[in-house]
Amino acid sequence: MSDLLALPYPVLPHELSRYAFLFDIDGTLAELRPTPGEVQINETVTCFLDFLSQHRIPCALISGRSILDIDTLFLSNNVPCAGVHGAEIRYADGKYERLSICGSDVAHVWERLKLACMRYPALRLENKLISFAIHFRDAPELAAVAMWTVASLAELYSGTFAVQHGKFVCELRPVKASKGAAVEKMMMSPAFCGRTPVYVGDDITDETAFRTVNEMEGFSVKVGDEETSATHRLKDVDCVHRWLARLMSCAAAGGGVHAQGADKCPS
């Protein structure tokens, strides 16, 4: 683990065509909001994704959101992505995979979760069909209640669900799902294979992805000042946007991004 000062700014030493980009969404490409529906994708992010597509540089979104929710947010169903922390994946060729999970367990857990949270209307429940989250951003004083509820159900259904902590949220995710496994699968697919991965994320859920990318000798980029296994860091979402703009600007100016010149490009 490293502190903020020990981690360098992510300067990519080769042309962008050498890389594959993988991004978390909330807290990385977009600012966190009280509810997922309030999140917006700004023009810089949209331009960068279009830039990668035009230059046939692979890119994927790796999120706790469902793929349906990701498509709604980005107004597109063409971006390769992994949803629900890797429980579902859509590859560049359109192939779709989802972890198999016991339907009766899913139904029982959802009912138990609703019953457990009835006394706490400030907690917001989210049903992702194969994963369930309790959001407490509007009621941080109920964090312990949310965490105990999720932990209890995870213990009861230990063969099916595991606990996934995040920023002001705790979740029951399929036990075999992780962003690290999703990144590994995505990087083995034809569109991504042979590229150097660049993964950018902000949360505890991204740590498995950071470790996977590190093993691939790629670039793992932590957004924020928390401890991390990532090798590089950007301070916040605004810094991510400036970094994306810089990558595009440098590529346009010199045909690629180089270690000696990237920091001199305009932001």
Please tell me the predicted confidence (pLDDT) of residue 4.
52
Structural domain boundaries of the chain? 4-99+178-264, 103-174
The model carries a pTM of: 0.88
Cα angle 141-145-146, degrees, rounded to a multiple of 5: 95
Q: Mean pLDDT per segment of 10 residues, for the chain of length 267 residues?
A: 71 95 98 89 97 96 96 94 96 95 88 93 92 93 96 93 92 94 98 98 96 98 96 97 96 58 41
| Architecture in CATH of 103-174 | 2-Layer Sandwich (3.30)
Terminal CA-CA length for the chain: 29
Query: What pLDDT score was predicted for residue 53?
Result: 95
44-75 pLDDT, tens digit per residue, is 999 999 999 999 999 999 999 999 999 999 99
What local confidence, expressed as pLDDT, does residue 134 receive? 95
* CATH architecture assigned to 4-99+178-264: 3-Layer(aba) Sandwich (3.40)
Is 24 tagged catalytic? yes
Q: Residue 266 class from Cβ within 10 Å (0-12 exposed, 13-18 middle, 19+ buried)?
A: exposed
Structure tokens at 203: 């949360």
Q: In this predicted structure, what is the pLDDT of residue 241?
A: 98
Q: Looking at 3, 24, 236, 238, which residue is catalytic?
A: 24
